[in-house]
């Protein structure tokens, strides 16, 4: 079950919200948290009993280790607990996800294959969220201990607070499967707010609006673009090693927006459902499709993964590299290589590998890493700094987009390809002649793809629209590049209410066939 299942949206969610609010009113925040945790476990159970067992066991282990981290007075114990937790989490993820690469190892391979067969659902997001919680506990011990324990105004201190809050955070159903990956320090303090456990009309309005936006993105854009433009072409290439030239271009161009609509649609829905309970999650997408460079792109695309990897992998590596270079008294390119380039390459390869054990992901990460280094270096040159002042900002932005978007389209086609050979065949097909009647879909389909591009290029994203109501936690402050003409602002008015109603009504007709989200397999 995922957030687009009618049974969840129209049956389980309303029932849950009623029980959640009732429990909040009767038993305060602990009542609401208990209901949230129970609902999340039921949601997890729909992914299979094995999945439920694993997420519960993992949560228990992580909670125990987090308590050691925040409560122990011995630094050695704290470090041991942290390393054990990270190793356990990454080990579990590796076993479940990388069986293709681990299969040859005698015992581990068998365990890995069994686990992968038992748990087809991704553990990537929840594993990262839990690992980051341990790191949060390590880097801000006092704050985390307080967040877990602090009673809500008017409530007494209770030993039940830390486990309840941690389990609610670690297994919260809106972002359990496909993120966004939230920090413990972002979410847990919200459980102690006086409004937690109450359903406020404004939260419901914002949540429903985000939900409607996500549903429209999924059913009206991602699914249709995938079905009409992308999937048949990639299947064709996989089966026959070639396709028509025009079809190949169309599929590459279409996939770029399909993936955005699919993944950002889920993120919008996750934020929306959480917001209905009064919980604000971090924003995951900020109009990435019109990024003006690769650096800008990663401040806008899958933000919660980027920031986790940047914080816990890139930064330590970069600091270590900088120290090493200083110790060796290296300067110039050598120092830059160990303090920036190498950490960046590792950072991006890990981002690529995080998606799964495929060489296409490794190459995708490597290309983006090299691109990131190149862009960073160019932006750091005196030449660029001087030129920058002489070029008007709109021209600079348009130029940046013109350079960035085609390269992103190309690398995302690599990301979509099952193998490097498939990607090679796709590129090889670009020169093939068009197949009449096959290569040119109907005008209506073209209009649909055109509309999708118009939305990602000119439309405001959900968080800009709802900006004044703080729909999500911002990790990076990005400049809005939405043309003023289209910078619509949502308000809790009748007009917007009717628009949201119309969107939900339109989507209802499409919900009988639920296609999995692209990121459900990562």
Partner 1 sequence: MLPVLYGMALCALLMIVDPYDLRPWGLSPILVDAEYPPDKTVNLIRVVARQPHDLVMFGGSTTMPFTAPRLNAVFGSKSAVNLSYMAPMPTDTAPVLLRLVETPGLKRLIVAVDFSEMRRDGDTFYLGGSAVTSLRAHWYDMPDFTRPVARASLNRLWGRAFDIPGWRGEVTALVDAPSVTTHTDYMALLNDAVSHPDPAMDAQASAIACAAYPYLTQVLLPVGRAALQRGVHIDIVFPPIPFQTYYNWQKNHLEFSSWEKGAHHRQLVGFYGCIVKTIAAAHLANVTVHATDTDRRLTDLADYRDTVHLTKSATLTAMLQDIRDRTTVVTPESLDAFGRLIDEGIADVRTWRWSDRRSSPPR
Provide the binding-site residues for partner 1, judged by CB under 8 A: 1, 5-12, 14, 46, 208, 235, 239, 501-502, 504-505, 508-509, 511-514
137 with 131: CB under 8 angstroms? no
256 with 289: CB under 8 angstroms? yes
The string over 29-41, giving b where at least 16 C-beta atoms fall within 10 Å of a residue's C-beta and e elsewhere, is bbbbbbbbbbbbb
DSSP class of residue 219 equals I
Q: Which is nearer to partner 1, 133 or 216 (CB)?
A: 216
Cα-Cα-Cα-Cα torsion 89, 309, 299, 324, nearest 10 degrees, comes to 170
Q: What is the C-alpha separation between 382 and 504, in angstroms, rounded?
A: 52
Question: What is the nearest approach in angstroms of partner 1 to the Cβ of residue 455?
Answer: 21
> Dihedrals φ, ψ of 473, to 5°?
-85, 130
- What three-state secondary structure class fits 141? helix
CA 197 to each of CA 22, 25, 192, 418: distance values in angstroms, whole numbers, following the listed order = 8, 7, 10, 45
Ramachandran area for residue 180 (φ above 0: left; ψ -120 to 50: alpha; else beta): beta
Q: Which is nearer to partner 1, 7 or 105 (CB)?
A: 7
Segment 297-300 long-range contacts (CB within 8 Å, at least 24 positions apart): 297/404, 297/408, 298/368, 298/372, 299/476, 299/478, 300/476, 300/478
Question: What is the nearest approach in angstroms of partner 1 to the Cβ of residue 432?
Answer: 17
Q: Which is nearer to partner 1, 421 or 514 (CB)?
A: 514
Question: What is the nearest approach in angstroms of partner 1 to the Cβ of residue 247?
Answer: 15
Q: Which is nearer to partner 1, 443 or 512 (CB)?
A: 512
- What three-state secondary structure class fits 63? helix
DSSP class of residue 195 equals T
35 with 18: CB under 8 angstroms? no
Question: What is the nearest approach in angstroms of partner 1 to the Cβ of residue 244?
Answer: 13
Q: Which is nearer to partner 1, 154 or 201 (CB)?
A: 201
- What three-state secondary structure class fits 284? coil
Question: What is the nearest approach in angstroms of partner 1 to the Cβ of residue 172?
Answer: 19
Question: What is the nearest approach in angstroms of partner 1 to the Cβ of residue 268?
Answer: 17
Q: Which is nearer to partner 1, 408 or 500 (CB)?
A: 500
β-pair partners for 473: 282
Q: Which is nearer to partner 1, 231 or 377 (CB)?
A: 231
Q: Which is nearer to partner 1, 254 or 507 (CB)?
A: 507
Helix axes 161-171, 49-71, angle to 10 degrees: 130
CA 307 to each of CA 180, 184, 315, 318, 387: distance values in angstroms, whole numbers, following the listed order = 11, 14, 10, 15, 30
Question: What is the nearest approach in angstroms of partner 1 to the Cβ of residue 496?
Answer: 13
DSSP class of residue 266 equals H
β-pair partners for 282: 473
CA 111, 114, 118, 120 torsion: positive or negative?
positive
Question: What is the nearest approach in angstroms of partner 1 to the Cβ of residue 1?
Answer: 5
Q: What is the C-alpha separation between 156 and 147, in angstroms, rounded?
A: 15
Q: Which is nearer to partner 1, 153 or 502 (CB)?
A: 502
Question: What is the nearest approach in angstroms of partner 1 to the Cβ of residue 6?
Answer: 4
Q: Which is nearer to partner 1, 467 or 497 (CB)?
A: 497
DSSP string, 173-191: GGGTTT-----HHHHHHHH
185 with 136: CB under 8 angstroms? yes
Q: What is the C-alpha separation between 122 and 506, in angstroms, rounded?
A: 30
Q: Which is nearer to partner 1, 10 or 476 (CB)?
A: 10
Q: Which is nearer to partner 1, 410 or 499 (CB)?
A: 499
Q: Which is nearer to partner 1, 45 or 246 (CB)?
A: 45
CA 70 to each of CA 74, 82, 148: distance values in angstroms, whole numbers, following the listed order = 10, 10, 10
Question: What is the nearest approach in angstroms of partner 1 to the Cβ of residue 13?
Answer: 9
Question: What is the nearest approach in angstroms of partner 1 to the Cβ of residue 516?
Answer: 11
Question: What is the nearest approach in angstroms of partner 1 to the Cβ of residue 295?
Answer: 41
Greatest Cα pair distance, the chain, in angstroms, is 74
Question: What is the nearest approach in angstroms of partner 1 to the Cβ of residue 513?
Answer: 7
């Amino acid at each position: 079950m995922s957030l687009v299942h009618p049974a969840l949206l129209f049956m389980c969610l309303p029932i849950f919200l009623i029980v959640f609010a009732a429990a909040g009113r009767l038993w305060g925040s602990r009542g609401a948290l208990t209901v949230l945790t129970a609902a999340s476990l039921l949601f997890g159970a729909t992914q299979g009993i094995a999945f439920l067992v694993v997420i519960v066991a993992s949560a228990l282990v992580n909670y125990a280790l987090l308590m050691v981290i925040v409560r122990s007075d011995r630094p050695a114990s704290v470090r041991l607990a942290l390393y054990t937790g990270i190793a356990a989490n990454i080990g579990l993820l590796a076993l479940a996800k990388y069986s293709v690469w681990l299969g040859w190892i005698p015992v581990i391979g068998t365990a890995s294959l069994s686990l992968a067969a038992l748990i087809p659902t991704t553990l990537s997001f929840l594993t990262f969220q839990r690992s980051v919680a341990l790191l949060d506990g390590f880097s801000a011990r006092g704050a985390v201990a307080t967040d877990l324990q602090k009673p809500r105004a008017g409530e007494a201190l209770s030993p039940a607070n830390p486990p309840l809050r941690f389990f609610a955070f670690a297994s919260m159903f809106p972002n359990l499967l496909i993120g966004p990956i939230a920090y413990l320090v972002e979410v847990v303090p919200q459980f102690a707010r006086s409004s937690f456990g109450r359903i406020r009309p404004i939260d419901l309005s914002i949540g429903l609006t985000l939900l409607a936006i996500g549903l429209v993105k999924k059913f009206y854009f991602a699914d249709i673009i995938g079905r009409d433009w992308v999937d048949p072409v990639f299947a064709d290439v996989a089966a026959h090693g070639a396709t028509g030239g025009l079809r190949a271009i169309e599929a590459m161009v279409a996939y770029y927006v399909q993936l955005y609509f699919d993944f950002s649609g889920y993120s919008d829905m996750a934020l929306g459902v959480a917001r209905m309970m009064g919980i604000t999650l971090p924003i995951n997408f900020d109009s990435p499709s019109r990024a003006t460079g690769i650096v800008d792109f990663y401040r806008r695309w899958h933000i919660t993964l980027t920031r986790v990897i940047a914080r816990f992998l890139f930064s330590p590596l970069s600091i270590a590299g900088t120290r090493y270079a200083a110790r060796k008294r290296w300067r110039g390119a050598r120092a830059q290589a160990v303090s920036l380039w190498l950490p960046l390459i590792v950072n991006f390869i890990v981002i690529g590998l995080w998606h799964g054990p495929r060489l296409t992901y490794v190459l995708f990460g490597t290309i983006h890493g090299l691109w990131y280094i190149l862009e960073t270096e160019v932006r750091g040159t005196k030449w660029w700094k001087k030129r920058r002042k002489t070029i008007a900002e709109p021209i600079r932005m348009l130029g940046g987009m013109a350079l960035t978007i085609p390269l992103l389209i190309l690398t995302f086609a690599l990301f979509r390809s099952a193998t490097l050979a498939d990607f090679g065949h796709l590129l090889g097909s670009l020169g093939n002649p068009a197949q009449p009647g096959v290569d040119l879909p109907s005008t209506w389909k073209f209009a649909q793809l055109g509309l999708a591009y118009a939305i990602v290029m000119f439309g405001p994203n959900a968080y800009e629209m709802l900006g004044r109501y703080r729909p999500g936690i911002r990790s990076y402050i990005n400049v809005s590049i939405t043309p003023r003409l289209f910078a619509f602002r949502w308000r809790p008015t009748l007009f917007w209410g009717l628009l949201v109603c119309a969107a939900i009504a339109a989507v209802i007709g499409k919900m009988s066939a639920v296609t999995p989200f692209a990121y459900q397999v990562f």
